Structure 1
Amino acid sequence: MRSLELNMGYMLFLSLVAAVGGLLFGYDTAVISGTIGQVTEQFKLNDWQQGWYVGCALVGSIVGVSMAGILSDKWGRKLVMILSALLFSASGIWCTIASDFVHLVWARILGGVAIGIVSIVSPLYISEVAATQYRGRLVSLYQVAVTIGFLSAYIVNYYLLLYSQSNPLLETPILQYIMVSEVWRGMLGMESVPALLFLLVIFFIPESPRWLIVSHKKEKAKGILFRIYRSVQTVEEHIGMTESVLKTESKNSDWSVLSQPGILKAVIIGVCIAILGQFMGVNAVLYYGPSIFENAGLSGGDSLYYQVLVGLVNTLTSIFALLIIDKIGRKKLIYYGVSGMILSLIMIGLYFILSERFQLSSVVMLVFFLAYVFFCAGSISAVIFVLLSEMYPTRVRGLAMSIAGLSLWVGTYLVGQLTPWLLTYLTPGGTFFLFAVMCIPYILIVWKLMPETAGKSLEEIELYWKNGSKRKEVIKRKR
């Protein structure tokens, strides 16, 4: 297909709107890092309660991801994105006014449900409106948005803390309460601003054309596809290929489609890379970065500033990965990135072991942290949602992504809950050595079991998993 035929502006607009969900994902996930110390002190939390404060949103994410695929396959991608925007908005407001720790936990769980939903539906929507040759880059926009959400949360946390420490006197008591005396409320509540923006812009995008085809609304799908491809012939080819693949599944239930040997293998691989990716240190850095920096002797303000640098490197590296993911492929990014992650994690572990004996500067640790973030953001973080959004059959893509996404959030919850305990009893050095070891099975699975999907249509990838002994020939087909 010639690039000149494509309406790149429209395709980019659709992808950017869906990617706003990633920004909310990132903000809600990372904002917690700047509030842990304040909430722990205010409510006198022990290690397990602190872990629950971090992990409760992840429980919500597990609930959200469990229902996201089923709802999006039944109701459509757009309506479910609207639901997630409503939940994000409600969570931000509730966190701001929560009267006690129990209410705060429930508000965080509600936000977690929204995270789980949007983590499935937004990249799924982008993958289904993107042209094959641009799919990796456009789905990666979602991950870039996630990192922008991280960075936004770190910046908001840093400046709100500085503002509150300047002891301003605000005329409105409620603002004094939210922005100064209990500034963590303002940090959590700021989420409602982008959430309301997301809710507004979703109404300006259409439903996924592939979902419309599955739902027997071919004429609506044709109109949307024509706006993207601007060629009647190309639109007919896309619809014909999708319908041809669907015919092989028409007599089977969704679960029987997933249980087919090739598709089942794809689901199992997706589950493995999703859950293993969470045990490679990324969420410990995102959730507990300031606490880890404080363990290295930094003040609360300095630790939040370091976390801003972490977020900035995360964002810039994600943009770099977006530019190259379709050129060098998903697998090479993982090979290079995970190798760098292993080395960086070992160096962080050695820093914590040797820092007291040799009085190493905290800047040394920052360099290792930033190196780790660079390699992580340029590999597993950039690739995971691209792979999960393109691995599965059209008819059950939402359900299959939910299964893989569920394992991702279970892993994320376990890491969030266990990290305070690991830092205390395994020591920071031992914790990072453990994360380094967990990188090894991840890279082996990608090397031995995953095909390279760059440059292949969603239908071609589906045929690869289905065709058993002929998989290599299918995935090597030239467009």
Structure 2
Amino acid sequence: MPVWVAAFSDGGAAWSSSKMSGGTTGPLLYAVTAAVLGMLQFGFNTGVINAPRQFIETFIRDAYEIEDGDLLFSVVVAIFPVGGMIGCPLSSWIAEKQGRKNALLMNAAFGVLAAALMGFSKLASSVEMLIIGRFLIGINCGFATTVSPTYVSEIAPLRLRGAFGTVNQLAVAFGLVFAQILGIDAILGTDEGWPWLLGLAIIPSALQFVMLPFVPESPRFLLLTSRDEQKARLALTKIRGDPAVDDEINDMHAEDRAERQEEKFTVWGLVTDRSLRTPLIIGIVMHLSQQWGGINAVLYFSSTIFISAGLEPDVARLASIGVGSMLFVMALVSIPLMDRLGRRTLQLVGLGGMTAFSVLMTVAFFTYEGNTTMSVFAVIFTLLYVAFFGVGPSSIPWMILSELFGQSARSAAVSIGALVNWFANFIVGISFIPMERALGNYVFLPYTAFLILFFIFTYFKLPETKNKTIEEVTALFKK
């Protein structure tokens, strides 16, 4: 579904024979669909751990004969972003050595193995299998969050690159909603069903593994990395549905010549370059704001949060579906706003709204006892908090680094941002349950404090990059 939304966003150009100006073709849609299944996998495994918490904790207690499974459940949650931190840099290296298509293919096979370990963990009475499976699927998802968007951006026509880029975020939101729907009591949200729920991660990876052999390699990789212009032309002709690809090939050559004249930054070189320190700090803080604003506390633990607000467990799991649905809707809403209102405005609106509703969530949690109305408001405030996250903080941190840095430093900057994002994700996953025990109904106040700091930083430090060239953005920092 998300692919078709983006594909038809250019006003009916779908299925046209695309020349340089570009439109959608069958092979292009097929290739994009195969690639973004990795992002759907990321969304699915972010949301899937939410609903079955109580059943997994029972499984842990029974397996180890202990009274409390909370802390080990935190490990099950937090080991996922640890895998993501490994998957990101690993993917960049393999994608450059083996190509985008082969990297995605290897990652899909890896995802099948991870899903099998999670799915059979209860049958084998092995918590270790569950933890290892979550770790491996984390590597798979970290890998996908780097390679899938890269492949999609490299095969999309220039005028549709932004629209197809949003498919990645839509696929994440769709996977999240799908996991939350399957997690309700009537489907797989049961003591018998939760291993099947986690094991269903095998479907996106298996489907991707079957589809990928029939997609072309990235023409940019073939031309600029493998130096095989004939294969690049063949791949581009297949994707565009038209042999007239000379203009696009010439543009790639021109970009290659320009890049060769620039110094190529490594990650360490970027970190130690004082002239680029300000945009790097801005990018890092943007990624921290996405995670330490508390969004993954909601995505990982919304059922727990809603139960603590007075809802029955089955109702809480139903309410959690609204969280993923809200993200999906806001991903669609934010597409036209991004180039109209600008990155800085949307980031400030998003952080400001999240701050306000995190406070209101705390008030609702604190006053719900004996008051059904406040339980309902707790859910409403949580959904509005998620909605404001979708306005800007959901996508802007991922795009801002590519707009703050030139070609020579962009790859290193994006790698640092992704690593920081996954690390911050890990901190949220491992710390929420201890924080909930210590702070009770005030558990969101630390996130509120961070949101205020991030809002102030963004207001004073983040420049508007809308409709500005890299040279113009760089001049702002020098000024």
What TM-score do the two structures reach when normalised by structure 2?
Answer: 0.84
Specify the alignment match of 2:213 in structure 1: 203
* 8 Å contact kept, 2:84–2:139: yes
Encode CA deviations 1:275-330: one digit per residue, 9 max, x unaligned. 23211011010000001111122222111100012211111111222343234332
Output the amino acid matched with 1:379: G
* 2:132 corresponds to 1:127: no
Q: How many Å separate the matches in 2 of 1:203 and 1:210?
A: 18
* 2:124 corresponds to 1:101: no
Matched residues, number: 447
Specify the alignment match of 2:197 in structure 1: 187
The 3 A distance-change label for structure 1 pair 181 and 256 is closer
Q: How many Å separate the matches in 2 of 1:401 and 1:390?
A: 10
The 3 A distance-change label for structure 1 pair 85 and 131 is same
* 8 Å contact kept, 1:60–1:110: yes
Specify the alignment match of 2:54 in structure 1: 37
* 8 Å contact kept, 1:321–1:382: no
Report the alpha carbon displacement of residue 111 of structure 1 after superposing the two structures with TM.
0.6
* 8 Å contact kept, 2:60–2:69: no
Specify the alignment match of 1:18 in structure 2: 35
Specify the alignment match of 1:383 in structure 2: 396
Report the alpha carbon displacement of residue 332 of structure 1 after superposing the two structures with TM.
2.3
Q: 2:387 aligns with which of 374, 399, 423?
A: 374
* 2:448 corresponds to 1:431: no
Report the alpha carbon displacement of residue 48 of structure 1 after superposing the two structures with TM.
2.0
Q: How many Å separate the matches in 2 of 1:164 and 1:208?
A: 38
* 8 Å contact kept, 1:213–1:243: no
Q: 2:415 aligns with which of 384, 402, 407?
A: 402
What TM-score do the two structures reach when normalised by structure 1?
Answer: 0.84
* 2:30 corresponds to 1:6: no
* 8 Å contact kept, 1:24–1:149: yes
* 2:352 corresponds to 1:339: yes
Report the alpha carbon displacement of residue 451 of structure 1 after superposing the two structures with TM.
4.4
The 3 A distance-change label for structure 1 pair 69 and 191 is same
The 3 A distance-change label for structure 1 pair 38 and 324 is same
TM alignment of 1:44-193, pairs within 5 A: 44=61, 45-98=68-121, 99=124, 100-131=126-157, 133-158=159-184, 161-163=185-187, 182-193=192-203
Between 40-49 and 5-14, report the one with greater CA deviation.
5-14
* 2:275 corresponds to 1:278: no
Q: How many Å separate the matches in 2 of 1:73 and 1:453?
A: 29
* 8 Å contact kept, 1:136–1:386: no
Q: How many Å separate the matches in 1 of 2:427 and 2:250?
A: 46
Q: Which secondary structure state, in structure 2, belongs to the residue aligned with residue 182 of structure 1?
A: coil
Q: CA RMSD in A?
A: 3.0
Unaligned runs of 5+ in 1: 166-179, 474-479
TM alignment of 1:423-462, pairs within 5 A: 423-428=436-441, 430-455=442-467, 460-461=469-470
Encode CA deviations 1:9-33: one digit per residue, 9 max, x unaligned. 4655544432221110000111000
Q: How many Å separate the matches in 1 of 2:131 and 2:139?
A: 12
Q: How many Å separate the matches in 2 of 1:472 and 1:131?
A: 34
Between 98-107 and 268-277, report the one with greater CA deviation.
268-277
The 3 A distance-change label for structure 1 pair 440 and 25 is same
Specify the alignment match of 2:331 in structure 1: 318
Output the amino acid matched with 1:416: G
The 3 A distance-change label for structure 1 pair 260 and 127 is farther
Encode CA deviations 1:54-93: one digit per residue, 9 max, x unaligned. 1111221122123222332333322222222122211111
Q: 2:309 aligns with which of 261, 282, 296?
A: 296
The 3 A distance-change label for structure 1 pair 38 and 358 is closer
Q: 2:45 aligns with which of 28, 45, 63?
A: 28
Q: How many Å separate the matches in 1 of 2:273 and 2:222?
A: 24
Q: How many Å separate the matches in 1 of 2:477 and 2:155?
A: 25
* 2:260 corresponds to 1:246: yes
Q: How many Å separate the matches in 1 of 2:389 and 2:256?
A: 34
Q: 1:354 aligns with which of 367, 381, 406?
A: 367
The 3 A distance-change label for structure 1 pair 470 and 375 is closer
Report the alpha carbon displacement of residue 181 of structure 1 after superposing the two structures with TM.
5.1
The 3 A distance-change label for structure 1 pair 325 and 231 is farther
Output the amino acid matched with 2:225: S
The 3 A distance-change label for structure 1 pair 264 and 82 is farther
Output the amino acid matched with 1:6: G
Specify the alignment match of 1:170 in structure 2: none
Q: Which secondary structure state, in structure 1, belongs to the residue aligned with residue 263 of structure 2?
A: coil
- Identity value in percent: 25
Report the alpha carbon displacement of residue 126 of structure 1 after superposing the two structures with TM.
2.7
Greater per-residue helix proportion: 1
Report the alpha carbon displacement of residue 203 of structure 1 after superposing the two structures with TM.
2.8
Output the amino acid matched with 1:442: F
Structure with more contact order per residue of length (Cα contacts < 8 Å, sep ≥ 6): 1
Specify the alignment match of 1:177 in structure 2: none
Q: How many Å separate the matches in 1 of 2:103 and 2:277?
A: 26
Q: Which secondary structure state, in structure 2, belongs to the residue aligned with residue 406 of structure 1?
A: helix
* 8 Å contact kept, 1:136–1:325: no
Q: How many Å separate the matches in 1 of 2:476 and 2:390?
A: 34
The 3 A distance-change label for structure 1 pair 437 and 420 is same
Q: How many Å separate the matches in 2 of 1:133 and 1:453?
A: 19
Report the alpha carbon displacement of residue 130 of structure 1 after superposing the two structures with TM.
4.0
Q: How many Å separate the matches in 2 of 1:450 and 1:372?
A: 22
Between 58-67 and 11-20, report the one with greater CA deviation.
11-20
Q: Which secondary structure state, in structure 1, belongs to the residue aligned with residue 394 of structure 2?
A: helix
Output the amino acid matched with 2:384: A
The 3 A distance-change label for structure 1 pair 341 and 196 is same
* 8 Å contact kept, 1:69–1:400: no
Q: Which secondary structure state, in structure 2, belongs to the residue aligned with residue 118 of structure 1?
A: helix
Output the amino acid matched with 1:275: L
Q: Which secondary structure state, in structure 1, belongs to the residue aligned with residue 216 of structure 2?
A: coil
Q: Which secondary structure state, in structure 2, belongs to the residue aligned with residue 298 of structure 1?
A: coil
The 3 A distance-change label for structure 1 pair 56 and 292 is same
Between 356-365 and 404-413, report the one with greater CA deviation.
356-365
